[in-house]
Amino acid sequence: MDTSIEQKVQQLREQLNRWSHEYYVQDRPTVTDHEYDETYHELVRLETEYPQLITPDSPTQRVGGVVLEGFEKVTHQNPMLSLSNAFSKEDLQAFDDRIKKLTNRTIDYVCELKIDGLSVALTYQDGQLVLGATRGDGVIGEDITHNIRTVKSVPLSLEHPWSIEVRGECYMPKKSFQQLNQSREEEGLEVFANPRNAAAGSLRQLDSKVAASRNLAVFLYQSPSIEALEVTSQMELLEKMQALGFVTNQESVLCHSIEEVWAFIEKMTVERNNLPYEIDGIVIKVNDFKAQEEIGFTVKAPKWAIAYKFPAEEAQTIVRDIEWTVGRTGVVTPTAVMDAVFLAGTTVKRASLHNVDLIRERDIRIGDTVVIHKAGDIIPEVTRVILDKRPEGLEPYEFPKECPSCSNPLVHLEEEVALRCMNPKCPALLKEGLTHFVSRDAMNMSGVGTRIIHQLFESGLVQDVADLYHLTVEQLVTLDKIQEKSAQKILQAIETSKQNSLERLLTGLGIRNVGSKAAKDLAMHFETMENLQKATVEELVAIEGLGLVIAHSVLAYFNQETVQEMLEELKEAGVNMRYLGKAKVAISEDSLLAGKTVVLTGTLEQMTRQEAKEAIESLGGKVTGSVSKKTDLVIAGAQAGSKLTKAESLGILVWDEEQFRTMIERNSYEEKNHHFS
């Protein structure tokens, strides 16, 4: 291989990692998003052409894609303890009094923002990220390495070969939380109550692509490797971690008295609402590590630290109306329109009611005085009705029977909490559906955003997705703020999308209950749109992971005459209707691992975990995440741990990597001879 290619790839990788560090860690971007994207796509192109050049710390490896059977357990060598709580100034004074009785050293405190997320531990060996784990119960957590690698503020490698562990909080920024809940509401799914739940749910996704799409971030603030890092205090540790490339919270301060601690708490109580992330308190730690050692621990928590918890902020207002909006999937979502009230740093006039069940459960009526709060201090929600203030004769709220956009009857399906418009020609559905079709996760038409889609629809230029492929420069320049150069770029993005693999098209069509994973499974199995359109219920449910709900959704979608006409239009426009990836092959009953349950453990040196999984499945086997009596075979790589021990105790057959590779090669040889015989 040309060494100049290797050098170019390395140069691009270093440049992108540097830009990413400036953006996500230092919060000081030095290039535009466009410049970053162009460089990133150039790296993707080269790595696609020369896959042998891909390294674990490449920025392209943050997109996820690994689907796990389950999470492996991780035992923390140093327990991740919880903290005692304080709720008042008096509680903090009592904490300070206890500290001074337990040590004669001069006491300074470090105050850190208590990030509302999920505690994680990151392990680096020789400068490379090798393990990401949840706190769990403090002693045993879960291996979330595949998901933590998708978090852009987590360094995949360090500049120097440090072997250390760092700990902190993985969280979901307020903006990401709002976007996620909005998307879930549109799909008729339950929304997350707060960013903490959303972050936890994202990190515990078996499909790392889901985690990658959630835009998580981290703040790191602790390490059991203080000797290796050669630090003597908490403040020194934070400085050292920042110097190593980790994200530390810049709001941390050193206080010389408990009075200064309280002053900081009062300051952040006012400023917390302006932060781009959610906090639910302040963590106070003794700064000096020697003093921490003297003060010691209880069974559950360190004596030298405490968490001050903010009180919940609520407000009262009056509901004047309930408005309903239609999302992409037809779900109709209610919003309370209220008298303006100041809450958690902002003036609030509207609050999400989520669905009809919530309105019914809390018996919310127009004219009611209600208590509102901000879920996760972000999204206003109605907590309860103050019945003592309800005016006499106030009638129960009557739910709408017609769609607010098209006036078609609304349906409340038994299995859902939402009202739904079932009219495929509903203007609101069409508009939102178009926005979804062009999105990054679907057909990925760069530069064709919500604003342009809404203009195209409202001007009558586009009514369904097929119309996008007939647009001209002359039509586009009639839109607001679209010049000829921009129009050319839009048309190029639309043209490029024609070459997408089938699963992207299926995702973009927005078939109910069919997300990106189901779309991929359908595309792999049927290979062409034509085959999928002819599929029966039996054929659909035979695909692993697809049940009756998805099967019926797919059939109902393709049985629509309008859908058939639209697909024919897309085909005539040149949109690809085939799966372009590697299709699954039929597994014969006499395959070497047919019907066998296989567990992978340890580090494989000659292949990736995913390559091994695909090889096992191609031989008829099923890969699971844990060893049990039902396990037929364990393949153990280097540094295999508890799974290997358990397999040996149960008398389960164990192969090393070499035996596994020999078996694969033998199978390949037999297949070849079979074809020639």
Which residues are known catalytic residues?
114
Token readout for 66 is 């690994």
On the CB side of 221, how many CA atoms lie within 13 Å of its CA? 22
Residue among 278, 238, 484 at smallest CA distance from 379: 278
Token readout for 48 is 């696609």
Supply φ then ψ for residue 251, to 5 degrees.
Answer: -85, -5
| Cβ atoms of 122 and 129 closer than 8 Å | yes
Task: Supply the DSSP symbol for 25.
Answer: I
- The amino acid present at 294, given as its one-letter code, is E
Token readout for 61 is 């490896």
**CA–CA separation, 294 and 289 (whole Å):** 9
Can you give the three-state secondary structure of 321-352, one letter per residue?
Answer: EEEEEECCCCEEEEEEEEEEEEECCEEEEEEE
User: Which residue blocks in 226-344 are alpha helix, DSSP H?
Assistant: 226-229, 234-243, 258-271, 289-295
Q: How many residues does the chain have?
A: 677
Contacts of 539 (CB under 8 A, 6+ apart): none
Start-to-end CA span in the chain (Å): 38
| Cβ atoms of 158 and 137 closer than 8 Å | no
| Cβ atoms of 424 and 406 closer than 8 Å | no
Strand, coil or helix: what is 463?
coil
**CA–CA separation, 633 and 598 (whole Å):** 5
The residue with tokens 């327990």 is 79
Q: Distance of CA 401 to CAs 354, 355, 568, 621, Å?
A: 17, 14, 34, 51
Token readout for 415 is 């299995």
Residue among 563, 630, 571, 626 at smallest CA distance from 595: 630
| Cβ atoms of 500 and 440 closer than 8 Å | no
Residue among 254, 222, 259, 256 at smallest CA distance from 241: 222
Strand, coil or helix: what is 381?
strand
Supply φ then ψ for residue 423, to 5 degrees.
Answer: -80, 110
The secondary element (H helix, E strand) that includes residue 458 is helix 450-458
User: CA 623 from chain center: how many Å?
Assistant: 24
The residue with tokens 């003060």 is 295
